[in-house]
Amino acid sequence: MHMVAAINSALDNEMQRDKNVVLLGEDVGVNGGVFRVTDGLFKKYGADRVVDTPLAELSIVGLSIGMAAAGLKPVAEIQFSGFTYASFEQLVSHAARIRYRSGGKFTCPMVLRSPCGGGIHALELHSESNEAIYSHMPGLKVVIPSGPYEAKGLLISAIRSKDPVLFFEPMKLYRAFREEVPETPYEIPLGKANLGKEGKDVTIISWSTMYHVSMLAAKKMEEENGVSCEVIDLRTINPIDTDTIINSVKKTGRVVIVHEGPRNAGMGAEISAQITEKAMLSLHAPPIRVTGYDTPYPFYKTEKFYLPDIEKVIIGINKAMNF
Amino acid sequence: MDENGKVTGEMPKLTNDEIKELYKKMVTIRVYDDKTMKIQRQGRVGPYISYLGQEACQVGIAASLRKDDWFFPTYRDSGALYARGMPLKDVLLYWMGDARGFANAGNNFPICIPVGTHPPHAAGAAFAAKIKGKDYVSLATFGDGATSRGDFYEAMNFAGVFNLPVIFVVQNNQWAISVPRSRQTASQTIAQKAISAGIDGVVADGNDIFSVIKAIRYAADKARSGKGATVIELLTYRLGDHSSADDQKKYREQAEVETWKKKEPVERLKKYMLSKGLWSEKFEQDITAEATQAAEKAITDAENIPSQKLDELFENIFSEMTPNLKEELEELKEAYKDRSTESTNKVEKIEGSFP
Ligand SMILES: Cc1ncc(C[n+]2csc(CCOP(=O)(O)OP(=O)(O)O)c2C)c(N)n1
Ligand SMILES: [Mg+2]
């Protein structure tokens, strides 16, 4: 299955298992979603459980909060992660805080799914990587899968989670490759990174599309320069799996963090701080960041200059190696 | 004007030459749209949004505004931008993923991509006119879907409270991608939402250019004379797919599309002109040929524009480049020191790309 089919299968499994799981969003019903992620579900589960909403992101999330508090399991879709901003106040001031504010009485077990990331020649605001913004807000879990198998297991865990989860889906990977994915449900725990590849000399930490770029750069460095790279796919951006990161860095002593979103106050900064606080004495070089720049995501003609690529990651690895 | 181009109400004041000019503009923007769609299919333009069927709205809006009036369009309004005098080449640049398209666009704001987020901007520009004692008006246009967003209600509300010279034009084309108008609101009309904000709401036939012009002139005159804001709902229909990535057959009855085809705006004006002796085969051929030539030249010009320098990617973020940006620019140059920094127009097909 490719990632679109894997996510569809996760939604199908969970809707089958739990009558309270309800999908809502723009074009998710009759049309099956603009990326066809919810294809067939409207027909199978009906208009009460797969809801085409008016065009209003704020209310898609706002209503999900009320639905979740009242016992449903809303899985809301915002058509692109660049359009989640209208729902920002609902997420931050309410979804993230209701458990805290009500002394645990009310909770918000909702999932917000949204396609993210660039490299697809899209229009403005259709290529955002805004996971850092939401990771900064206490009370929201943030997940980004890097492949079909992960996507299904992580989404099922997100739906079963007792907390609000933002589940970002890298558009570039939607149909990029296929993996063996079971038809039956399975969970991949939130908050656990995946060690994609073991190595001795340097740890590369990344996620989403950049995980694949990092893997390619790692292979190249190994084959051409004999540098042994360990590659971690973070998978859950908040909370970060610090144990996996620190264990790896203690072993390698060098680290490169690769992400697509802007650098300033991005996830690389947080990961780098955790490493310097917890593994300072193991480090042979400062943590290196290879990231998107502190500009808006560019118009697509120039997006290739913005995105971290194999060459940029290799420059980063060399910086760490030759410090 | 009815479907057959027969005048049914009071005509707006227009000379025969002006009517011919309106028709020419409608034909011209249809040719532009068609050409852009064609090169989009060849991978020479990225995702593109056609306004096929909405030409009377596009031209009618532009023709009823002054050059110094402010215009806040969406992705659906390339036609109105052409009709406002923006060069085809510049609008094409935008669709070719080039940041330079809107650098010289006068009082036309860049195309708004997040649906329904720009009505407050129009209200703000109108507020500025009021405070500065200027007599320009401000017009935002958007779709039926956009009227479900809070931004629209809030903008109307401010316009009412401050009596602003602003016009909100809803091009109700009956669909927001796959979601029908009936799913956006339970209210009978969209125009009636103006009532809750204490401003004027008007419904007009968006496929009848005369009806569009009458409505917008009415609202613009009113705004200019200090009598406040108007919501105009133009009833129209999107004849094509939502975008170059959409397939409208998945969600709507083709019989509905056929019904609306009979009401389409260009043919309708042509019928009117025929009945008045204003249209001829030759006129049609001449304006089509002129538009085709202009389109071809604009496409060549847009495709041959030199690549942006890497430096330009870091400009216009702030008024001055910050230390972070300077550092990142150097880093990018270093990463490209052995690679070409040409950007290409060619949009390769990538699996998993835009829907
Ligand atoms: C805030 C936001 N949400 C979703 C989208 C994706 N999207 C683009 S156009 C569109 C439908 C808009 O419909 P309408 O307002 O009726 O305008 P039309 O496209 O029909 O002209 C949607 C959902 C978007 N661009 N912005
Ligand atoms: Mg519409």
User: Which among B97, B114, B310 has the least Cβ separation from residue A305?
Assistant: B310
User: Which among B115, B250, B351 has the least Cβ separation from residue A55?
Assistant: B115
Please identify, among A144, A173, A202, the residue that sits at the C-terminal boundary of a domain. A173
Residue A181 lies inside a defined structural domain of this protein: no
Q: What is the pLDDT of residues B172-203, one digit of tens each?
A: 999 999 999 999 999 999 999 999 999 999 99
Residue A13 lies inside a defined structural domain of this protein: yes
Rg over alpha carbons for chain A, rounded to the nearest Å, is 19
Residue A184 lies inside a defined structural domain of this protein: no
Contact partners, residue A136, CB within 8 Å, separation at least 6: A265
Residue A157 lies inside a defined structural domain of this protein: yes
Residue A183 lies inside a defined structural domain of this protein: no
The residue range of the domain holding A147 is: 3-173
Characterize the bridge pairing of strands B138-143 and B70-72.
parallel
Active-site annotation of B, residues: 238, 242, 251
Interface of A with B in 247-286 (CB under 8 A): 263-264
DSSP codes joined into one string, B1-67: --TTS---SPPPS--HHHHHHHHHHHHHHHHHHHHHHHHHHTTSS-S----TT-HHHHHHHHHTS-T
Give me A12's structure tokens. 């199908």
* Pair (A150, A234) in one structural domain: no
Is residue B207 classed as helix, strand or coil in its secondary structure? Answer: coil
Cβ(A147)–Cβ(A173) below 8 Å? yes
Characterize the bridge pairing of strands A229-233 and A194-197.
antiparallel
- Dist CA A15 CA B39 (whole Å): 42
* Pair (A73, A167) in one structural domain: yes
Residue A223 lies inside a defined structural domain of this protein: yes
* Pair (A91, A228) in one structural domain: no
Is residue B96 classed as helix, strand or coil in its secondary structure? Answer: coil
Residue A103 lies inside a defined structural domain of this protein: yes
Q: Is B119 in the pocket of ligand 1 (CB under 6 A)?
A: no
User: Which residues of chain B have a CB within 8 Å of the CB of A173?
Assistant: 352
What's residue A231's pLDDT?
98
Q: What is the pLDDT of residues B212-234, one digit of tens each?
A: 999 999 999 999 999 999 999 99
State the average pLDDT over residues B131-140. 98
Q: Is B24 in the pocket of ligand 1 (CB under 6 A)?
A: no
Name the phi and psi angles at B178, rounded to 5.
-95, 0
- Digits of tens for pLDDT over chain A (323 positions)? 999 999 999 999 999 999 999 999 999 999 999 999 999 999 999 999 999 999 999 999 999 999 999 999 999 999 999 999 999 999 999 999 999 999 999 999 999 999 999 999 999 999 999 999 999 999 999 999 999 999 999 999 999 999 999 999 999 999 999 999 999 999 999 999 999 999 999 999 999 999 999 999 999 999 999 999 999 999 999 999 999 999 999 999 999 999 999 999 999 999 999 999 999 999 999 999 999 999 999 999 999 999 999 999 999 999 999 99
Asked whether the beta carbons of residue B178 and residue A27 sit closer than 8 angstroms, the reply is yes
* Pair (A204, A114) in one structural domain: no
- For chains A and B, what is the number of CB pairs under 8 angstroms? 149
pTM reported for the whole predicted model: 0.97
- Using 50, 70 and 90 to split pLDDT, how confident is the model at B349? low
- Dist CA B179 CA B148 (whole Å): 12
Say if residue B352's pLDDT is above 50.
no
Rounded distance from Cα B172 to ligand 2 centre (Å) = 5
Answer whether B250 touches A (CB < 8 Å): yes
Atom 25 of ligand 1, residue of closest alpha carbon = B114
* Pair (A124, A22) in one structural domain: yes
Asked whether the beta carbons of residue B347 and residue A121 sit closer than 8 angstroms, the reply is yes
* Pair (A248, A156) in one structural domain: no
- Dist CA A267 CA A129 (whole Å): 11
* Pair (A146, A269) in one structural domain: no
**Distances from the Cα of A243 to the Cαs of A190, A209, A246, A275, in angstroms?**
14, 23, 5, 10
Residue A178 lies inside a defined structural domain of this protein: no
* Pair (A162, A288) in one structural domain: no
- Dist CA B85 CA B330 (whole Å): 39
Is residue B78 classed as helix, strand or coil in its secondary structure? Answer: helix
Asked whether the beta carbons of residue B336 and residue A305 sit closer than 8 angstroms, the reply is yes
Give me B38's structure tokens. 């064609």
Please identify, among A125, A144, A173, the residue that sits at the C-terminal boundary of a domain. A173
Say if residue B345's pLDDT is above 80.
no
User: Which residues of chain B have a CB within 8 Å of the CB of A264?
Assistant: 324
Strand spans (E) along chain B: 70-72, 138-143, 166-172, 175-176, 179-180, 200-205, 230-235
* Pair (A19, A161) in one structural domain: yes
Say if residue B354's pLDDT is above 50.
no
Contact partners, residue B350, CB within 8 Å, separation at least 6: A119, A120, A121, A172
| Residue of B115, B147, B152, B260 to test ligand 1 pocket, by largest number of atoms within 8 Å of CB | B115
- Dist CA B238 CA A39 (whole Å): 24
Cis peptide before A239 (omega within 30 of 0): yes
Please name which of B219, B204, B179, B203 lies closest in space to residue B265, comparing C-alpha atoms: B204
User: Which among A31, A83, A301 has the least Cβ separation from residue B96?
Assistant: A301
* Pair (A166, A205) in one structural domain: no
Please identify, among A173, A202, A235, the residue that sits at the C-terminal boundary of a domain. A173
Number of domains comprising chain A: 2
CATH number, domain of A254, equals 3.40.50.920
In one-letter notation, the amino acid at residue A130 is N
Say if residue B353's pLDDT is above 90.
no
User: Which among B150, B251, B351 has the least Cβ separation from residue A58?
Assistant: B150
Q: Is B177 in the pocket of ligand 1 (CB under 6 A)?
A: yes
* Pair (A7, A146) in one structural domain: yes
Cβ(B151)–Cβ(A83) below 8 Å? no
* Pair (A247, A158) in one structural domain: no
Atom 12 of ligand 1, residue of closest alpha carbon = B176
Answer whether A211 touches B (CB < 8 Å): no
State the ligand closest to the CA atom of B75: 1
Contact partners, residue B196, CB within 8 Å, separation at least 6: B153, B156
Rounded distance from Cα B242 to ligand 1 centre (Å) = 9
The nearest CA of chain B is from the CA of A309 a distance in Å of 10
**Burial zone of B267 (CB within 10 Å; 0-12 exposed, 13-18 middle, 19+ buried):** middle
Give me A183's structure tokens. 């038809």
Question: What ipTM was assigned to the predicted interfaces of this complex?
Answer: 0.96
- Dist CA A199 CA A213 (whole Å): 16
Atom 6 of ligand 1, residue of closest alpha carbon = A79
Q: What is the pLDDT of residues B32-88, one digit of tens each?
A: 999 999 999 999 999 999 999 999 999 999 999 999 999 999 999 999 999 999 999
**Distances from the Cα of A75 to the Cαs of A41, A63, A111, A187, A313, in angstroms?**
13, 11, 5, 17, 35
